[in-house]
Amino acid sequence: MTFPTNIPAVTVWERTLIDRAPAYIRHELGAAYWEDTRGQSEHGREPDDHVFLAIHADNVTYLPKKEDRVLPGSVDSAAPPRDALTVMQVKDFRYGSGMMQHIEVTLK
């Protein structure tokens, strides 16, 4: 059994500070599952659109963190483009069966 993927790579720009100024470090991760989600929040009628991203542990060379920026595919830009999405939440499931180990990232 293989982990389901629908994009060949993911580009993550790690948000950091250099001399108290925001800066980004580019990371490219392997194949992943990318799902656009459209919906409403539980507490109102405001849109709750986000992206669900699942990456198998074998393809995780960097663990994204909140406020990092992400785009599907291999993007060569040193800084995240305007359309890059922001990491809102990361869940680490790298335990148990090796076939099931993965991380889940919510992007907005």
Rg (the chain; Cα; Å): 15
Q: What is the mean pLDDT of residues 91-101?
A: 92
- Side chain identity, residue 34: W
For 46, the token pair is 């405001």
Q: What is the mean pLDDT of residues 36-48?
A: 66
- Residue 101 pLDDT greater than 60, yes or no: yes
10-39 pLDDT, tens digit each: 999 999 999 999 899 999 999 999 998 876
pLDDT > 70 in the chain, percent: 88
Give the C-alpha distances (Å, rounded to integers) separating 77 from 3, 28, 35, 48, 87.
Answer: 28, 11, 23, 28, 18
**Which pLDDT band, with edges at 50, 70 and 90, does 1 fall under?**
very low
**Which pLDDT band, with edges at 50, 70 and 90, does 78 fall under?**
very high
Q: Alpha-carbon distance 39 to 55, whole Å?
A: 23
Q: Alpha-carbon distance 55 to 7, whole Å?
A: 10
